Amino acid sequence: MPAETPAAAESVFPQLEALLPHVQKPIQYVGGELNSTVKPWDACDVRWALMYPDAYEVGLPNQGVMILYEVLNEQEGVLAERTYSVWPDLEALMREHGVPQFTVDSHRPVKAFDVLGLSFSTELGYTNMLTALDLAGIPLEAKDRGLDDPIVLAGGHAAFNPEPIAEFIDAAVIGDGEQAVLDITRIIREWKAEGRPGGREELLLRLAKTGGVYVPGFYDVEYLPDGRIARVVPNRSGVPWRVSKHTVMDLDEWPYPKQPLVPLAETVHERMSVEIFRGCTRGCRFCQAGMITRPVRERSITGIGEMVEKGLKATGFEEVGLLSLSSADHSEIGDIAKGLADRYEDDKIGLSLPSTRVDAFNVDLANELTRNGRRSGLTFAPEGGSERMRKVINKMVSEDDLIRTVATAYGNGWRQVKLYFMCGLPTETDEDVLQIADMATRVIQKGREVSGSNDIRCTVSIGGFVPKPHTPFQWAPQLSAEETDERLAKLRDKIRGDKKYGRSIGFRYHDGKPGIVEGLLSRGDRRVGAAIRAVYEDGGRFDGWREHFSYDRWMNCAEKALAPYGVDVDWYTTRERTYEEVLPWDHLDSGLDKDWLWEDWQDALDETEVEDCRWTPCFDCGVCPAMDTHIQIGPTGKKLLPLTVKNPS
Ligand code: SF4
């Protein structure tokens, strides 16, 4: 007979329900979405709570969580439920009424699960993790947790440097999660079946010894008198010096999510997404996602077709996004776009392809996917304002390429072009950024000429550059918030001062302040954890949301928390690192060879570009030999056929 559910694992819905009439958007907390899963608690021996540490509307569409939720729930004897950050209004009521952090699927307390797996796309979710731990009744620091607390496990891109949250997590996994969660499940199951020998420590040791799970508590960090790291040393035997990332090689073997979740409340994406490939080798030097997900692994055209078909049937969505880091780069994207457009032509299914590639082929693809639809706006990302800057960042786009591309877009009926740039890139000067205005002017000129209309718009959107770990810019100084704001103000003035074209140019930018906090957390080490905790205790929540983010709170808390260590926010952000410096994430192996990254950083300073290894010989970034992987692209030679025969003769 299965054991009875312990009281600690019982649903808290009756208590929660009484609070919901008093909070905003209560629907986000009730669960029961189409394709959600509730498995019997007592029939499972390994139980995961999966958290995206942001509000439901951002967290629900997250592909990483959706994939792991399904992969785990497909296993016999394993269950996975989801939990999201609760808004401050519900948090206050939960504290007042003693309701713990719960899963939305069966409203069980998060503390009752074996694992709390957190997916961090961005570092700005760290304070939300602390809120959730505290609401769950799980001690904030790993060292204070006992046998009845879940293993707190971090994943996602930000986990490639989990050092700032080292005190708060028990473990981290870097890279693809599909296989990793199954391996971890097996180890937990064995350990539980054996009667939990050696307690929590033994379980973590077993996980760490696989070489693919990082347990920060098993590593000591030694510092030099000047504040830099001297070395990071394992403090248990059998624990590897470097922890490897996980790479799933054959995406066709992992066609997840097969049954995507359909949200109950409004979310940031109201569509189904199919990941068409993973990884990117274009080599944009600022792009952490591209660097850490190497090599490129494509899903086959037939695999994509099947996922789209099954997913649409399972969800009833009317829009499909073909996801990847640069979707126009799939070796068979032309056939994929045409095949899907043919197949769904009569079904009013919208197809979208998030790609910002600056070339005419990208416009052709967008045309194909909007055969019947409205041609509103197209986005291109030259990223750097000047030709020189684009050489530094390895974005091989000339201004003439861009003008040719926008001419094609306007000529095909697109009326609005959005250009995405970054400010604060290494070696950048005011002049590099001011050239963005010249480019936008040329775009409008060309648009008016090609379309024969003055009703043409170009929006310039600018983000602040934040140097990231495991990229060639990991050694670069970050531009201060004040300098970023000054530079952007000059650009704004130049655009507004243009009487002839300025009114056709939209200008969107963020101030430099959030970027400094992101920079502190991205390249921080364990000492930064004290600042995160201080911000959380001071009320910091939802740092990715403009209305909740407080720069002053972060700066005040960080100043006090870091002072005892003799370092400060500038030390972590605007300071340039040297070749010799031990970086906080050096013991986490993304596969990229550190010397190759350094050479690429020097190439950046020399304004030398590097080709994409998908189409040229390997240039030894180190990933493939280190991870025993390889570039995996088509063509497969297959075509997507319409599912229904049209006009039968
Ligand atoms: S090892 Fe070579 S082929 Fe593999 S991602 Fe790096 S450069 Fe490309």
Condensed to tens digits (0 to 9), the pLDDT of residues 104-147 reads 999 999 999 999 999 999 999 999 999 999 999 999 999 999 99
Q: Which atom of ligand 1 is nearest to the CA of 592?
A: 6
Structure tokens at 109: 């307390």
252 CA → ligand 1 middle, Å: 21
For the residues of 592-644, what is the DSSP string, one character each? --HHHHHHHHHHHHTT-----TTTS-----SHHHHHT---B-------PPPSS
Give residues with Cβ within 8 angstroms of 258, minimum separation 6. Answer: 70, 307, 310, 311, 314
Please give the number of the atom of ligand 1 that sits closest to the Cα of 295: 5
Q: Give CA–CA dist 476/117, Å, rounded.
A: 32
Nearest Cα residue to atom 1 of ligand 1: 624
- Amino acid of residue 222: E
Total Cβ atoms within 10 A of residue 552: 8
φ, ψ dihedrals at 101, nearest 5°: -55, 130
Q: Model pTM? A: 0.96
- Cβ neighbours for 73, distance < 8 A, ≥ 6 positions apart: 37, 39, 79, 80
pLDDT at residue 644, as a whole number: 58
Strand 377-383 to 350-352 pairing? unpaired
Q: Kindly report the average pLDDT of the chain as a whole number.
A: 94
Atom of ligand 1 at shortest range from CA of 622: 1
Q: What is the share, in percent, of the chain residues with pLDDT greater than 90?
A: 87
Q: With b meaning 16 or more CB within 10 Å and e meaning fewer, what string describes 127-162?
A: bbbbbbbbbbebebebeebeeebbbbbbbbbbbbbb
Residue 5 has pLDDT above 80, yes or no: no
648, pLDDT greater than 50: no
pLDDT at 581 exceeding the cut of 90: yes
Quote the ligand 1 centre to 71 CA distance (angstroms): 29
Cβ proximity of 320 and 269 under 8 Å: no
Q: Quick one: DSSP state of residue 246?
A: B
Question: Of 151, 214, 159, whose CA–CA distance to 188 is shortest?
Answer: 151
- DSSP line for 124-141: GGHHHHHHHHHHHT--SS
Mutation test residue for ligand 1: of 590, 599, 611, 623, the one with most atoms within 8 Å of CB: 623
Q: From CA 124, how far away is CA 72, in angstroms rounded? A: 27
8 A C-beta contact, residue 65 and residue 178: no
Dist CA 587 CA 233 (whole Å): 9
Q: Torsion angle of alpha carbons 401, 351, 509, 507, nearest 10°?
A: 60
Mutate to test the pocket of ligand 1, among 595, 615, 619 (most ligand atoms within 8 A of CB): 619
Q: Is the pLDDT of residue 360 over 90?
A: no
pLDDT at 369: 87
- How does pLDDT run across 53-91, given as a tens digit for each residue? 999 999 999 999 999 999 999 999 999 999 999 999 999
- Higher confidence at residue 639 or residue 176? 176
Among candidate residues 485, 398, 390, the one with its CA nearest the CA of residue 428:
390
Å from CA of 619 to ligand 1 middle: 6
d(CA 475, CA 454): 45
DSSP string, 276-311: -EE---S--TT-HHHHHT-S-EEPPHHHHHHHHHHH
- Weakest-pLDDT range from 284-293, 368-377, 555-564: 368-377
Strand 588-589 to strand 171-172: parallel, antiparallel, or no bridges (unpaired)?
unpaired
Q: How confident is the model at residue 372 (pLDDT cuts 50, 70, 90)?
A: low
Distance 630 CA to ligand 1 centre (A): 7
The tokens for 503 are 């009114």
Residue 20 half-sphere exposure toward CB, CA atoms < 13 A: 13
Instruction: Give strand pairing partners of 378.
Output: 417
pLDDT per residue over 289-329, tens digit each? 999 999 999 999 999 999 999 999 999 999 999 999 999 99
Tokens of 305: 């077709």
What pLDDT, on a 0 to 100 scale, did the predictor assign at position 1?
Answer: 39
Residues 383-412 pLDDT 10s:
999 999 999 999 988 999 999 999 999 988
Q: Name all domains of the chain by residue range, CATH numbers in brackets.
A: 7-244 (no CATH), 271-374+588-649 (3.30.750.210)
Query: Is residue 96 classed exposed, middle or buried when 0-12, 13-18 and 19+ CB atoms within 10 A define those classes?
Result: exposed
Which ligand 1 atom is nearest residue 623's CA?
A: 1
Q: Measured between alpha carbons, how far is residue 38 from residues 8, 28, 32, 95, 570 in Å?
A: 18, 17, 9, 26, 47
pLDDT greater than 80 at residue 6:
no
Q: Which atom of ligand 1 approaches the CA of 630 most closely?
A: 4
The span from the CA of 511 to the CA of 489, in Å, is 10
Instruction: Identify the residue whose C-alpha is closest to ligand 1 atom 3.
Output: 618
> Which residues form the pocket of ligand 1, taking CB atoms under 6 Å from any ligand atom?
281, 294-295, 613, 618-624, 631
Measured CA distances, 498 to 416, 431, 437, 444 (Å): 19, 17, 9, 12
Q: How many CB atoms lie within 10 A of CB 17?
A: 13
The answer to whether 582 touches 228, Cβ cutoff 8 Å, is yes
User: What is the Cα–Cα distance from 118 to 155, expressed in whole angstroms?
Assistant: 6
Rg over CA atoms, the chain? 25
Summarize pLDDT for 251-293 with one digit per residue, the tens: 999 999 999 999 988 888 788 999 999 999 999 999 999 999 9
CB 368 within 8 A of CB 361: no
Spatial distance between the Cα atoms of 547 and 550, rounded to a whole number of angstroms: 8
Q: Are 516 and 572 in contact (CB under 8 A)?
A: no
Q: Which residue has the tokens 């979310």?
A: 267
Place of tokens 């029961």: 32
375 has a pLDDT exceeding 80: no
Per-residue model confidence as pLDDT tens digits over 612-641: 999 899 989 999 999 999 999 988 888 887
The closest residue, in CA terms, to atom 6 on ligand 1 is: 621
The Å distance, Cα 615 to ligand 1 centre, comes to 11
The set of residues, in sequence order, having a beta carbon less than 8 Å from that of 550 and lying 6+ positions away, is: 540
Bridge partners for 418 per DSSP: 379, 459
Question: So what's the pLDDT on residue 2?
Answer: 45
Query: Which residues are CB-neighbours of 270 under 8 A, at least 6 positions away?
Result: 263, 317, 319
Report CA(247)–ligand 1 centroid distance (Å). Answer: 14
The Cα 585–Cα 526 span in angstroms is 10
| Dist CA 328 CA 379 (whole Å) | 13
